[in-house]
Amino acid sequence: MLIGYARVSKGDDQSDALQLRALKEAGCDRIFTEAMSGGRWDRPELHRLIDQLRPGDVVMVWKLDRLSRSLKDLLHLIDRITRAEAGFRSLTEAIETTSPAGRMLMHMIGSFAEFERAMIQERTTAGLASARAEGRIGGRRKKLDAAKRREIAESVLSGRKTGAEMARVYDVSPPTVSRIVAEYQTALTAGGS
């Protein structure tokens, strides 16, 4: 069975008429339509379509970006379709997985995506190492300076205030206060040894 999937972004003044016409002309027996962003995973019609696939079915879309905006997500969806022993075809780009040549093309696209992810990871790692060498440390800045952290720890340890009270005073969570107190105690113990 040929099964179509048409999607327009929610909130846009887009129409799915062009997609529906193309999918009907291509011979789709059933068409699932949706008005949601292609970057979202919680698309109920897409999941209904995939859940109902049977061996030999072919999922058709007008363009690849109707199925997903992310190459990684696109490959994941096509993998799910393939695991259901179904095929995939994009009408505009003439990409399909129903022939050996089409499957080879999808593997090549997947290889390029994997290469791109590896290159991004390599550049990120090099950038972080360079920043550390220059004395810059990533992550969010601490909300509390050393003096405030010391005041929290000493107030809680002396019994003047509870951890919950200090959390409210400095607008932090109680686990943050517990962590500050534990770090302070560790520092005192290490300094006293």
> 110 in a domain, yes or no?
no
Residues 74 and 153 in one domain: no
| CA gap 81, 65 in Å, rounded | 16
| CA gap 191, 193 in Å, rounded | 6
Active-site residue, selected from the candidate residues 9, 173, 178, 193? 9
Residues 151 and 93 in one domain: no
> 123 in a domain, yes or no?
no
Residues 83 and 155 in one domain: no
> 114 in a domain, yes or no?
no
Average pLDDT of the chain is 87
> 138 in a domain, yes or no?
no
Residues 75 and 18 in one domain: yes
Residues 92 and 152 in one domain: no
Q: Which range marks the domain in which residue 88 is found?
A: 2-98
Contact between residue 15 and residue 62 where contact means Cβ atoms under 8 Å apart: no
Residues 151 and 64 in one domain: no
Domain of residue 59, CATH code: 3.40.50.1390
> 103 in a domain, yes or no?
no
Segment 115-137 shows an average pLDDT of 87
Catalytic: 178? Answer: no
Residues 86 and 172 in one domain: no
Residues 86 and 19 in one domain: yes
Q: What is the pLDDT of residues 134-153, one digit of tens each?
A: 888 777 777 889 999 999 99
Residue 10 identity: K
Among 38, 68, 98, residue at a domain's last position: 98
> 106 in a domain, yes or no?
no
Segment 84-103 shows an average pLDDT of 87
Residues 37 and 93 in one domain: yes
> 57 in a domain, yes or no?
yes
Contact between residue 157 and residue 185 where contact means Cβ atoms under 8 Å apart: yes
Its pTM stands at: 0.56
| Residue in 136, 66, 134 with CA at minimum distance from that of residue 95 | 66
Q: What is the pLDDT of residues 27-55, one digit of tens each?
A: 999 999 998 877 777 889 999 999 999 99
Q: For CA atoms 164, 165, 170, 171, give the dihedral sign.
A: positive
Count of Cβ atoms closer than 10 Å to residue 44 Cβ: 10
pLDDT for 12 beyond 80? no
pLDDT for 72 beyond 80? no
Residues 80 and 166 in one domain: no
Q: How many domains does the chain have?
A: 2
> 136 in a domain, yes or no?
no
Among 98, 132, 158, residue at a domain's last position: 98
Burial of 60 (0-12, 13-18, 19+ CB in 10 A): buried
